[in-house]
Amino acid sequence: QVQLVESGGGLVQTGDSLRLSCAASGRTLNWDTMGWFRQAPGKEREFAAATTFIDGNTIYSASVKGRFTISRDSAKNTVYLQMNSLRPEDTAVYYCALTPRVYRGTDHKGYTYWGQGTQVTVSS
- Mean of the pLDDT values across residues 17-30? 93
Span 74-93, pLDDT tens digits: 999 999 999 999 999 999 99
* Band of residue 28 on the pLDDT scale cut at 50, 70, 90: confident
Cβ contact 76:66 at 8 Å: no
Give the residues across from 46 on adjacent strands.
38
The model's pLDDT over 92-117, given as tens digits with 9 standing for 90+, comes to: 999 999 999 999 999 999 999 999 99
Answer yes or no: is pLDDT of 27 > 90. no
Arithmetic mean of pLDDT, 32-48:
97
Beta bridge partners of 122: 12
pLDDT score recorded for residue 96: 98
Q: What is the mean pLDDT of the chain?
A: 96
- Backbone φ/ψ region at 85: left (φ over 0), alpha (ψ -120 to 50), beta: left
Give residue 62's pLDDT band: very low, low, confident or very high (50, 70, 90). Answer: very high
Contact indicator for 49, 35 with CB cutoff of 8 Å: yes
The residue type found at 31 is W
